[in-house]
Structures are given as structure tokens and as C-alpha cells.
Structure 1
Amino acid sequence: MQENRTIPKVEGKSQTANMIREGYQFLRNRRKGLQSNIFETHVLGEKVICLSGEKAAELFYDTEKFIRKGAMPKRFQETLTGEGGVQSLDGAAHQHRKEAFMSLMSADKINQLKEMARGQWERKLSDFEKQQEVNVYKEAQELLLRLACQWAGVPLKEKEVQEKKEAIIQLFESPVTLGYKQWKAKKARQVLETWLGGLIKSVRKGDLIPFEGTAMKVFAFHRDENNELLKERIAAVEVLNIIRPIVAISIYIAFEVHAIIQHPQEHKRLASGDEKDLQDFVQEVRRLYPFFPFNAARVKKDFTWEGYTFKKGTLTMLDFYGTNHDPSIWNNPEVFNPMRFKEEPITPYNLIPQGGGEFVLNHRCAGEWATIEVMKVSLDYFANRMTFDVPKQDLSYSLVDIPSIPKSKIILKNVKRKNY
């Protein structure tokens, strides 16, 4: 029987200010200082157990030990995820709702998304050739909004594009901000939920008929585990939980182009257009570059793990960024090296930029496959289907700002379609 062990503690009062100040590095810095993949601290007004690493991720996604109810701060729900969405559910309710999401992620649906993405990039590349300067991050946001609405069955009028784009950006660019920015993001979500809620109502009345298998059709008529239709607002939240993450891929696309610019040798390997080379490059972008820093859950019932005692109700945080940069998992983790995946296998718990575990049973992001495929299509366009000049700019990115985005947003000039 393993002896009881005391969880290492961060001394001092609340660490909330330090968490905001240090961003992605907060949990990682404490872990290094304490030389432990588990430690206790105080943030957001309560005691928190912090975890990092592959074994810790496997523990964190054990649904017998952790639940999501009451774990995510309310202001995150008011901006990033929406109240009543799948991220806040547990048990049968979570599995039932998650199955609806996974029905959108079949091979046929993902292939449809890829074809739509290619069509969007073809049109966008024609636009790029007419522009003196291209802002990759901003252009990707617009493209991805059009793609997300097209795939989700959400009608988007041309005059609505900029307004809806700016509102959705507020949701994922301001989840950890305070004051006016957070208020703006909250208002943006209310506007978006009202818009989508109205469309859900039109679908149910028969005034709007989306294609079968689209998010709009699925969630308009989805029934919960009690066989009741979702409230219009909850259905709107879930449709937005398809659209928002797709638009947020714009961050990854900016980092993809960043990697192309900074690592020309790796860029050359993509010239063949080989699917595995594109996949490995995308996975290394997702591993190395900062995206979502951590996730939270609460202990479901008292248990002991590796001699450490977890008490029911304790808030627990898993370090995504730290796990993706863990030297005990990854060889030279700070080095961009897509070739690593030929020797370093990906498991459900070591590469976790969008969560870990299984898709249906656990809280791994349902849209992870969609993210990877859209990134691959986008990467192929920037790496193999266009040429461009890179003007002088600030390509640095912060590990304090959440989300982190390259300072210049990635500026390109003289974009031309490649002639084959």
C-alpha cells in the first residue's frame, strides 16, 4: 500500500495576479520551482490542485474521479463557451450531447469540410493577388467564419460578415480579460446567441430548412437525455460551439505561416504535398505554439492517486501548455521538429492542445479532427500553392497574453499563385 504523501504547496496568498501576469508559463513555472507535476495553490478565490504531464492528464480525464460542473469560472462561460453548453455537462447528459457533436465529425462530414475549405482558399488566394499587403490572421478569420457558417448550415449575409466576425473574435480573444474588454465579449456573446437563437426558431417553424447533418439541423432538433428539445438559447450555444472554434483556428493558421517563415528547411519537406508530412507539421504547430493554457474540473469524490489525497469538490487544473512542452515526454520540446512524430508517438494524453482522453466519454474537443484537417488544407495553400515576400515585422509572440498571437499578425506581400 502506497504511503500518504503531502501535495507540495505554493506558499503565500492568492496567485491569481501571478497567473494573469505569467499566462501560459504560470503552472509550468510553479511546477519547475517545486520539482513536482502536482502542487497546490490558491487562485480565483479558492484552493486549487494543479497537474501536469501524461499520467496526470490520464487522471484528469477519468470521469469517475472528476466532473466539469462548477469548474469553469462564470465569466469564461459568459464569453468563451456559453452557459449550458456541452463543456459544462457530466455523465449521461454530457455523453448524450457529445454524441450529437460527434455525429458532425464523421469521415464524410470532415471531407466535406475540407472541400469547402479548399474552395474558400481558392477564392481568398485570388483576393490576395490583388492586395498589396496581406494580414494572415485577419484574412483567416473572415475565411473561417464563411467556412464555419457554410459547413454548419448557418445563413450568413454579406453585410453581416464583418459584424459577426468581430463579435466571434471577442469570444476567444478576451476570455481572461477584465473590465471593459470582458464586458464587450459578454455583450458579443449575447448578440450572437440571439442571432443564432432566432435562426433555430426559424428552423423549427419550417421557415429555414438547413441541409441534413449540419449543426443547425442537428441542434435545432436535438433532444436531451430526457427526450426534450433543447431550449433555443442552448441550441444556439451549441451551434456557436461549432462556429467559434473554427474561427479560432485563425490563431493556428497565423502560427503555421510563422513556422513556414522561421523554419525554411521544414517548409521544403512539404513540397511533395504528402499527407503525412502535412499532418506532422500541423501536429508540431499544435504542440509547440501556445493555444489554450489549461482546463479545470472538480473532484467528484474523495480518492487517492500516487499517495496524494484529492477531496470531493476541490478545483483541479491540468496544464495543457506545460504537458505539450514536457521534456519527459518530448525530446527537445522547445525545438520545432515535425520529424519527431516518426519516433515519438502521439497518445490521447501527451499531445493535448485541445484536451485529452476520448472524444465521447471525455471532454476532449469534438472539433479536434476538424481543426487538424482545416489546418492541413490551409498549410498546403501557404506552403505549396502560393509564393510571397515577408516584409520586416515583429514575428515574436507572448507567453503572457492569452490567447497568444504573433505581434504582427503575420504580414505578407506580393502574394502570387504558384504556376505548376
Structure 2
Amino acid sequence: MADFDQTLAVALKGYAWLPDLRRRAGGGAVRTRVMGQPAVGICGPSAAQFFYGAGNLERHTALPGLVVHTLFGAGAVHTLDGGSHRLRKSLFTHLLLGDGIDTPAKLAGEAFDEAAAQWQGDTPVVLFDEAARVIAGAVTRWVGVPLEKRDERALAADLVAMVDGFATVGPRAARALAARRRQERRLSKIISAVRAKAPTAEPLSVVAHHTDEHGLLDPRTAAVELLNIIRPTTAVAWFVAFAAHALDRWPRHGIRLRAGDDEYTRAFVHEVRRFYPFAPFLGGRATRDHFFQGEPIPAGTLVLLDIYGQHHDPELWDEPYAFRPERFLGRDIGDFDLIPQGGGDPRTGHRCPGEKLTIALLGTLVQRLARLDYYLPPQNTDIDLSRIPARPRSGIEVVVP
């Protein structure tokens, strides 16, 4: 057990922190301290199954305040447990697990084509920024939030800031907090206006009229949950930049993407989500005394599930540091194997119900990216694993001649 607090080490080492700590401890569960609290780091499908097991952990006391107030929003579904969580979660499963997700993916594809036509010339564009704008505009239109074309870039910048500032302090966190306040105020007013009208099947109306055990959500909480549809969808821009990074490093993968091979595209999307860094680990707090693989976990202990470590575990993935989409062809993915957006059943547990939409959006955009005639001018595409969330330093600058 690391007796000294590891909070600074997390900030310095980023994604490598927990895998390194576990490796030094022999690869199993490792006891440590984070933010002054006793913690246990765990990894692997059985660890994910324990982490998402009903009643094993609670989330509302485990999430740091900065994460709540930048990334999720106060009172968000992510901060709830038990019956309150299930009731609020039903809002998201209704909207994000049906056939309707084909619509935002189609809108994003059309918006990408329109944007790409404007990129032509000798001036580089930053793919990360452009993808965020395209996705933010598409998902906002699908949800039903009014947005002028000229305001897409400002909205995308706010949504990106909320994600970019969740795991740090200083300017990035300040930008995230300001962006959240700005968008919560704007959407609260829209929610209040929508409530004056009869409910419809449009996502904006569904969120505005959703009720929990206390009745209708207050406008700010409803705005928080509306952002919890729009914000994580826009975060697919990280994966679009990673996909472009992969196509630059290993261009052979573009052949089947350009041909519209949907099975290979899905495998490519899964490999991008496995190989590249996004969430380093997730946290929950033990609700009672537990044992995991012989390691005692007393009630109140912070439990950290090593996402990055699991996605690069040689016992689970052959050659885990090689980018090989083929590993997902003809392979059944267990509920607790590939977990960039959580494990288990998204309808009943804490797995993100937006995962299906993420896969649809990314699949649509990587096929278009592979077909786009572009090149990368000289730039720094390194990915700094000490930075959370990581992304290519340049954002992937492209020139479309």
C-alpha cells in the first residue's frame, strides 16, 4: 500500500498512474490514498463486474466536487444512486437506446459534408475543433434546442471546455465552470418556455417534462440533464481526432472504411475507443464491507476502476499496444470487457446510455473522414498521457486541397 497521498502523482502521471501503481504491487488490487481518502485500485472484467454490481458502490459521495460542477452538473443523474438513479436514468434510456439515434448520426454526417466543402484551400483547419462544431450543431438540432448557425462554434467551445476542464485546476477548470454556468442559464430559460407548451416526442420536450419522485425537475436540473445529452455527444470530437491520428499512422485501415464496410467500421470504432485514452479510471465508494480477490474493502473506501489499464491488459487483449481493429471482427464483446463508457447494462446500471449513439456517430464520421481528400501538414500530433483528457497536441490540422 502506498501510505502517502497519491493526488499529486495522479496529476503528474495521468493515465499511467494507476496502471503503474498496480504493476508495482504485482498486478492485482492495490491499496493507496487519493484526496486524503483510503482507496483501492482494481482492474479487469471481474473488477468491472464488481464495480457495477448492484448495491456494491455508491457514486454520489465518490465524485469530487470539481468533476460534478464542471463535467456532470450539480444534481445530475451521475450523482444519484438506487431508485432515484433508475428513475432519472429512464429519461436517457428512452431517448438514447432506441432507433432514433440514427437521426443525429445522419445529421452529423450531412453537417460534416457541408463543413468539409468549406475547408477546401491551402489554409489548415483543426479537425478536433471542426468536428466538435459539426457534432454540437447536429445533436442540438436533433434535440430541438434552437441554435443559429453562427452560434455553433461558441456552443461547441463551451461543451468542449466542460469536458476539457474536469480533471484539473486552474484556467481549464475556470473555463469549464464559466461555460457550464453560461449554458445552464441559457437552457433553463428554454426549458421554462417549452413547459408552457403541450409535451411532444422531441427530446427537448421529453427532458423539459420529465418527472422524478419529487415531481417535475426544476428548470436548472432539467438543463443539466439536457446538457448531459448534448455535452457527451460533442465529446465524440476527441475520438474523431484519435481516428484521424490512427489513419495517419496506419493508413491501410482507410481502405475498408472508404469502401463503406460497416462491419469493419464498427470494429475500427471499437478499437479507437479501446486503444486511445479518454477516461483514465472511474470511482465509487463501498457501501459496506467487501472482499475483492481476497482484498478487504471496508465500507467507505474509494474504489477506482482502472479503465486505461484494462484496455491495455495483455491478459484481455492480444498485443494491447498495437492498433488492430481486426481484433473486434467476429468477436462478442462482453459487458465488462470494453468499458470506455462503463460496464454492465445501460438500462439498469451506471453504464452510459449514450454509448450506442457514440458508436453510430463515430462510425458515420470516420467513413467520411476516410473518403475525404486531405493531408496533414507538419505539426505535433503527440498525445500527452499526463494530460487528462488527452488529445493530439495539434488537434490534427488538415488541409483539403
Q: TM-score, normalised by structure 2?
A: 0.96
Q: Deviations over 1:373-420 (max 9, x none)?
A: 000000010112x211221221211111011110111111134xxxxx
In the TM superposition, what is the alpha-carbon distance from 1:113 to its structure 2 partner? 1.7
Q: Is the 8 A contact 2:165 2:174 kept in 1?
A: no
* Corresponding residue SS for 1:389: coil
Partner of 2:240: 253
Q: How many residues align?
A: 401
Partner of 2:230: 243
- Among 72, 75, 92, the alignment partner of 1:81 is 72
Find the aligned partners of 2:155 and 2:105 in 1 and give their Cα distance. Answer: 22
- Among 335, 349, 360, the alignment partner of 1:362 is 349
Find the aligned partners of 2:384 and 2:310 in 1 and give their Cα distance. Answer: 18
Q: Does 1:126 align with 2:117?
A: yes
In the TM superposition, what is the alpha-carbon distance from 1:306 to its structure 2 partner? 2.8
Q: Is the 8 A contact 1:290 1:403 kept in 2?
A: yes
Partner of 1:286: 273
- Among 383, 397, 400, the alignment partner of 1:411 is 397
Structure 1 414/166 Cα, relative in aligned 2: closer, same or farther at 3 Å?
Answer: closer
Moved over 3 A (4+): none
Q: Does 1:266 align with 2:253?
A: yes
Find the aligned partners of 1:157 and 1:411 in 2 and give their Cα distance. Answer: 26
Q: Does 1:223 align with 2:214?
A: no
- Among 370, 374, 383, the alignment partner of 2:370 is 383
Find the aligned partners of 2:255 and 2:171 in 1 and give their Cα distance. Answer: 45
**Which deviates further from its counterpart, 289-298 or 109-118?**
109-118
Q: Is the 8 A contact 2:39 2:303 kept in 1?
A: yes
Q: Deviations over 1:263-288 (max 9, x none)?
A: 11222232321110100001000000
In the TM superposition, what is the alpha-carbon distance from 1:201 to its structure 2 partner? 0.4
**Which deviates further from its counterpart, 120-129 or 216-225?**
120-129
Find the aligned partners of 1:182 and 1:121 in 2 and give their Cα distance. Answer: 29
Find the aligned partners of 1:294 and 1:128 in 2 and give their Cα distance. Answer: 36
Q: For residue 177 of structure 2, what is the amino acid of its counterpart?
A: K
**Which deviates further from its counterpart, 159-168 or 258-267?**
159-168
Q: Deviations over 1:110-131 (max 9, x none)?
A: 1112221222122112112256
Find the aligned partners of 1:19 and 1:345 in 2 and give their Cα distance. Answer: 33
Find the aligned partners of 2:328 and 2:305 in 1 and give their Cα distance. Answer: 23
- Among 292, 304, 314, the alignment partner of 1:317 is 304
Partner of 1:397: 383
Partner of 1:62: 53
In the TM superposition, what is the alpha-carbon distance from 1:192 to its structure 2 partner? 0.9
In the TM superposition, what is the alpha-carbon distance from 1:164 to its structure 2 partner? 2.1
Q: Is the 8 A contact 2:97 2:354 kept in 1?
A: no
- Among 167, 175, 178, the alignment partner of 1:187 is 178
**Which deviates further from its counterpart, 47-56 or 102-111?**
102-111
Structure 1 382/405 Cα, relative in aligned 2: closer, same or farther at 3 Å?
Answer: same
Find the aligned partners of 1:341 and 1:403 in 2 and give their Cα distance. Answer: 25
Partner of 1:6: none
Unpaired runs of 5+ residues, structure 2, are none
- Among 363, 373, 380, the alignment partner of 2:360 is 373
- Among 198, 202, 224, the alignment partner of 1:214 is 202
Partner of 2:62: 71
In the TM superposition, what is the alpha-carbon distance from 1:261 to its structure 2 partner? 1.0
In the TM superposition, what is the alpha-carbon distance from 1:304 to its structure 2 partner? 2.4
Q: Does 1:20 align with 2:7?
A: no
Q: For residue 311 of structure 1, what is the amino acid of its counterpart?
A: P
**Which deviates further from its counterpart, 307-316 or 38-47?**
307-316
Q: Is the 8 A contact 1:303 1:310 kept in 2?
A: yes
Q: Deviations over 1:238-297 (max 9, x none)?
A: 000001011111110001111111111222232321110100001000000001111111
**Percent same amino acid among aligned pairs?**
33
Partner of 1:30: 21
Structure 1 387/302 Cα, relative in aligned 2: closer, same or farther at 3 Å?
Answer: same
* Corresponding residue SS for 1:318: strand
Q: For residue 414 of structure 1, what is the amino acid of its counterpart?
A: V
* Corresponding residue SS for 1:155: coil
Q: Deviations over 1:118-152 (max 9, x none)?
A: 22122112112256322101111111110121111
In the TM superposition, what is the alpha-carbon distance from 1:342 to its structure 2 partner? 2.8
Q: Deviations over 1:337-359 (max 9, x none)?
A: 00011365411111111111110
Q: For residue 216 of structure 1, what is the amino acid of its counterpart?
A: L
